[in-house]
């Protein structure tokens, strides 16, 4: 089985964006604020948006199941206040839940949180609970920088975030550390801000003892871990200077990297440096990089072929990356798959 742990609903019907534009207009003139009920999207429209896009590519590439969350750049937690984000997150999560309901074999949800700059993370807990307990979601996306590129929140190791970690432990779900749109002109959203955040999140964990406080906490750092695997020597050396344990015991029980790296040499390095048990298959399709690589003739985000071709991986390790690690890191995903198999066997 091949599980892609990183997909977003980037192809949602235009009505969603129109509703959001109206919500943003309402911040300047409250009379314009739309009711959540004003968003009307039929199952037929959802099917059209998925079948011609994500599902077509999954079938073409042999991907069975995608952990599916709202479009990351649209989370835009910096817009408005907590109430703005609460309403917006709920609508976006509901759409992902409906897609998972229409295609239960192919999609399972991961929650967007209603974060807002300066807001207490506790304000996210009701939506997180709803997504996991009512919608059957198996993970969440945690934005370490709700300000959108200005980094006004404390580091992920700060007690500020602990209410979310406590709930993650209770629910037994992992978080993908995922920023949203950059509103800092210095940082291109997907080319700089995303990769900066991946690297920054890792270093925040390295310098802290977060996982002593939360031994079962699991973070998935996307986009191949940003600069982390490439600079593994630097991180090992810094940890040594800081008298931290070896990274394997300090961080690798809790931190995982996905395979959203869009060329073979990058995947070769990732899989050579990072133990296979810490690498999870993902493509972030349909996402940031949609073109065809003229050097290979294949889509940049067709990452499965890179894992197949990575020279240092054994077949057992490939199976870990494609399926087994996802089951281990996302126990609710494993439980959903097991329940499905038992249902089919009956």
- Active site members: 284
Q: 23-45: buried (b, 16+ CB within 10 Å) or exposed (e) per residue?
A: bbeeeeeeeebbeeeebebeeee
- Which CB atom, from 11 or from 22, has the smaller least distance to Zn ion? 11
What's the min distance (Å) between Cβ of 218 and Zn ion? 17
- Phi, psi (rounded to 5 degrees) for 5: -90, 10
Smallest gap, in angstroms, from Cβ of residue 74 to Zn ion? 11
User: Where along the sequence are the contacts to Zn ion (CB under 5 A)?
Assistant: 72, 284
CA-based torsion, 184, 187, 193, 196: positive or negative = negative
CA 119 to chain centre: 21
CB of 189 or CB of 244, closer to Zn ion: 189
Length of the chain: 346
Q: How many whole angstroms separate alpha carbon 92 and alpha carbon 12? A: 9
* Radius of gyration in angstroms for the set of CA atoms belonging to the chain, rounded to a whole number: 19
Q: Cα separation of 20 and 13, whole Å?
A: 12
Shortest distance, CB of residue 162 to Zn ion, whole angstroms?
Answer: 25
> Of all residues in this chain, which one has the CB nearest to Zn ion in the complex?
72
CB proximity list for 50: less than 8 A, separation 6 or greater: 11, 99, 102, 103, 107
User: In this structure, are residues 73 and 21 in contact, taking their beta carbons and an 8 Å threshold?
Assistant: no
Distance CA 20, CA 27 (A): 11
Instruction: Considering the complex, state which of residue 5 and residue 276 has its C-beta at the smaller distance from Zn ion.
Output: 5
Q: How far is the CB of 37 from Zn ion (least distance, A)?
A: 29
Q: Which is nearer to Zn ion, 288 or 321 (CB)?
A: 288
Q: Which is nearer to Zn ion, 301 or 317 (CB)?
A: 301
Q: Ramachandran region of residue 223, left (φ > 0), alpha (ψ -120 to 50) or beta? A: left
CB of 271 to Zn ion, least distance (A): 20
């Amino acid at each position: 089985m091949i599980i892609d742990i990183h997909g977003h609903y980037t192809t949602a019907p235009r009505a969603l964006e129109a509703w959001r534009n109206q919500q943003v207009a309402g911040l300047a003139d409250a009379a314009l604020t739309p009711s959540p009920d004003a968003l009307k999207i039929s199952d037929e429209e959802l099917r059209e948006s998925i079948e011609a896009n994500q599902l077509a590519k999954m079938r073409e590439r042999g991907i069975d199941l995608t952990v599916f969350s709202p479009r990351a750049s649209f989370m835009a937690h910096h817009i408005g206040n907590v109430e703005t984000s609460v309403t917006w997150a709920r609508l976006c999560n509901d759409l992902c839940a409906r897609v998972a309901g229409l295609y239960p074999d192919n999609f399972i949800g991961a929650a967007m949180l209603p974060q807002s700059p300066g807001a207490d993370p506790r304000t996210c807990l009701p939506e997180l609970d709803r997504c996991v307990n009512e919608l059957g979601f198996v993970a969440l996306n945690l934005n370490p920088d709700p300000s959108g590129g200005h980094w006004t929140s404390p580091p992920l190791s700060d007690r500020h975030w602990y209410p979310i970690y406590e709930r993650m432990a209770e629910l037994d779900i992992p978080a993908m550390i995922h920023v949203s749109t950059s509103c800092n002109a210095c940082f291109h959203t997907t080319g700089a801000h995303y990769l900066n955040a991946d690297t920054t999140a890792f270093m925040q964990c390295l310098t802290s003892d977060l996982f002593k406080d939360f031994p079962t906490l699991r973070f998935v750092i996307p986009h191949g871990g940003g600069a982390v695997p490439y600079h593994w020597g630097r991180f090992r050396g810094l940890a040594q200077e800081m008298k931290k344990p070896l990274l394997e015991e300090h961080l690798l029980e809790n931190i995982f990297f996905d395979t959203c790296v869009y060329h073979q040499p990058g995947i070769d390095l990732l899989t050579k440096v990072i133990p296979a048990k810490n690498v999870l298959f993902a493509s972030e399709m349909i996402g940031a990089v949609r073109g065809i690589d003229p050097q290979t003739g294949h889509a940049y985000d067709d990452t499965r072929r890179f894992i197949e071709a990575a020279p240092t991986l054994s077949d057992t390790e490939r199976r870990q990356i494609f399926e087994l690690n996802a089951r281990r890191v996302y126990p609710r995903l494993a439980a959903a798959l097991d329940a499905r198999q038992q249902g089919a066997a009956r």
